[in-house]
Amino acid sequence: MTHTPPAAQHVANDRDRRSARRAAARAHHPDRGGSAADLIAALAEIDRQADGAPPLEVVLIIRRSRRARLHRWLYQWRRRHTSRRYFTL
């Protein structure tokens, strides 16, 4: 009896899912004469079957470097403190 580790099962499932998505793209892609709505529905169904849940939401966090943050802070400070376009009498 052979035991397949969970990581290997995940890789196999991922391969099956990728091949199913490619097959759906070959069959339904608009460039190949298919319908965009059919392609989207087929891909959504494959993802639902593979995961049992909707795909995770991806959150992208972009953070400026320290140098860029300092530059931005100095730029804003200069604009606040030196850009008066009026004078007092």
Q: What is the pLDDT of residue 27?
A: 93
Q: Which residue range(s) make up the domain with 61? A: 6-82
Does 29 have pLDDT greater than 60? yes
The pLDDT value given to residue 75: 94
Measured distance CA(54)–CA(75) in Å, rounded: 43
| Cα separation, 84 vs 82, whole angstroms | 6
* CA neighbor of 28 nearest in space, from 40, 17, 18: 40
Let me know if residue 1 belongs to a domain. no
Q: Is residue 58 over pLDDT 80?
A: no
- The verdict on residue 87 lying in a domain is no
- The structural domain count of the chain equals 1
Compute the distance between CA of residue 62 and CA of residue 39 in angstroms, rounded to an integer.
Answer: 32
pLDDT at residue 9 in the model: 57
> Which pTM value belongs to this model?
0.47
Residue 2 has pLDDT above 80, yes or no: no
pLDDT at 39 over 60: yes
43 falls within a domain? yes
Q: Is residue 89 part of a domain?
A: no
